[in-house]
Amino acid sequence: MSHGFGLDHLPYGVVAHQGRDLVVVRLGDDVIDLAGLAASSAPPFDPAVLAGPGLAPLMAAGPGVWAVVRSWLQATLADSSASRIPLAEVEPRMPFAVADYVDFYASLNHASNVGKIFRPDAEPLLPNWRHLPVGYHGRAGTVVPSGTPVVRPQGQRRPGPDGRPAFGPSQALDIEAELGFVVGVPSTMGEPVPITALADHVFGVTLLNDWSARDIQAWEYVPLGPFLGKSFATSISPWITPLAALEDSRVPLPGQDPEPLDYLRVAEPAGYAIDLEVVINGSVVSRPPYASMYWSPAQMLAHMTVNGASLRTGDLYGSGTISGPERDQRGSLLELSWGGNEPFTLDDGSTRTYLQDGDTVTIRATAGTITLGEVEGTITPR
C-alpha cells in the first residue's frame, strides 16, 4: 500500500472511470467507488450523499454524517474484499465546484519577508497585520486540479523610463505553497460564524498553489490588492483530506501578540503539524512548516464571516504562503530568490529566480502518518 494513504487517511475525490464520474476515497494506490460500495452493503446513512455531482452533497451533509461515513468506510474497507479500482485506471477530476475563493496572508514569516523585500526602509508588517487575518477575494472559476497546465500569464508591468507600462508575458512567475480549506456546511447571511465552529463547517483540506505573477502584481496591486497577477490560475490537489484525519496533527500555533479582539480569541489557537515540500523539476527547494503559521484556520473562518458574509458549500479559503523562519522553509520563489536578486540552484545545476517555461512545480506534504495528495503544474509558454 502506498505510504500515507491508509485507513487513517481516506481522502475524498472524484475520478473519471469508464466514461463516468465516481465519488471515491483513495486507499493506497487504489480508489473505491463509494456509491457502488454503499449499494452493496446497506450503509448507516442516506446513500444519496454519495451520488454526486462531485463531493457537494457529502460536503453539505455536515459533521454528523461525515463521522458516520468515515467510520463506515474504515470498518468496511478493513475487510479487503471491497472492490477497488487501480489509481492508474482513473483520472482525477475537480472534486467540487468552487463557490467563493478567498486567500489569506497568515504567515508572519512570509508577510515579514515580503515587507522587507518591497519596503526595505519601513516596518515590514503593516499596522493591521497582527490584528486581523489579511485576505482578498480571488477567482473561483480558475481554480484547477493538479496536473492542469498553467499558461504563462501576460499583462502590464511597471513603466520604464518613458513612463509607459511594459506589456507582455510575465517575467516573474512564482508559486505560493499553501493549505486550502474546503467549506462544506453553509451559513446564514448576517450571522457570523463563531471562532469555535471550524469543524461544523470545514469539510477538509487540500494542498494549494497560488500561482503569482510578481511583475503584474507589483504594478496593479495598489490600492485594491491582488487582481490579474493571481487570477489566471490556482491549483489544488484533487484529494480532499477530511479534517478528522488531521485530528492527531493538531498543534498550538506559536502565539499571538497582541491578543486579538474577542471574536478572534481562543485559549490556544490551533493549527496543524503539516510539513510541506516545494519541488521544482524534481529538486526540493523548500520545506515550509504549516505549524509556524500565525493565524489559525478557525480565526480565518471567523474573520471572513464577522461582517455577516455567508458561507456556501464549495467555498475555498487559502492559508496564504506558508513560510517558516529559516531560509530553506520559504514558500515562494519571491522569498527564496529575495526579490529575484539571489538565484538558487536546482539539482541539475541550473539556477532560478522565477519559473521558466516547461518548469514543473510539485507541492507535497505529510502530517504524521498521512500524506496529503500532491498538487502539480507545468508552465507552458504564451
Q: Which of 176, 275, 315, 335 binds Ca ion (CB under 5 A)?
A: 176
359 touching Ca ion, by CB under 5 A: no
- Tell me how far apart the alpha carbons of residues 372 and 155 are, in angstroms, rounded to a whole number: 34
User: Which is nearer to Ca ion, 57 or 135 (by Cβ)?
Assistant: 135
Query: CB of residue 321 vs Ca ion: minimum separation in angstroms?
Result: 5
280: left (phi over 0), alpha (psi -120 to 50) or beta: beta
From 3, 9, 17, 110, active-site residue: 110
Nearer CB in complex with Ca ion: 55/114: 114
Where does this chain touch Ca ion (CB under 5 A) — which range of 79-87, 202-210, 216-224, 335-343? Answer: 202-210
**CB-wise, 38 or 333, nearer to Ca ion?**
333
| 131 given a catalytic annotation | no
Of the two residues 187 and 321, which places its CB atom closer to Ca ion in the complex?
A: 321
Shortest distance, CB of residue 314 to Ca ion, whole angstroms?
Answer: 19
Q: Cα–Cα distances in Å, from 372 out to 225, 243, 274?
A: 30, 12, 9
| C-beta of 103 vs 315, nearer to Ca ion | 103
Please, which of residues 45-104 interact with Ca ion by CB under 5 A? 103
Residue closer to Ca ion, measured from CB, 197 or 218? 218
DSSP, residue by residue, 233-275: -EEE-S-BEEGGGGGGGEEE-S--SSPPPGGG--SS-EEE--E
Q: What are the φ/ψ torsions at residue 286 (nearest 5 degrees)?
A: -165, 150
Minimum CB–partner distance for residue 138 and Ca ion (Å): 8
Taking a C-beta distance cutoff of 8 angstroms, is the pair 290, 272 a contact? yes
Q: Which residue is nearest to Ca ion (CB)?
A: 210
What distance in Å separates the CA atoms of residue 68 and residue 63, rounded to the nearest whole number? 9
DSSP H helices, the chain, are 34-39, 56-61, 63-78, 108-118, 198-201, 214-220, 297-305, 333-336
CA dist 93 and 16 (Å) reads 7
Which of 30, 174, 210, 315 binds Ca ion (CB under 5 A)? It is 210
Please choose, out of 2-10, 31-39, 174-182, 216-224, the segment that lies near Ca ion by the rule CB under 5 A. 174-182
Element (H, E) at 170: none
- Cβ 217 vs Cβ 230: under 8 Å: yes
**Residue 175 to residue 334: CA distance in whole angstroms:** 8
Count of H-run helices and E-run strands, the chain: 8, 26
* CA-atom Rg of the chain in angstroms: 21
Return residues touching Ca ion (CB under 5 A). Answer: 103, 176, 210
* Residues with a known catalytic role: 110
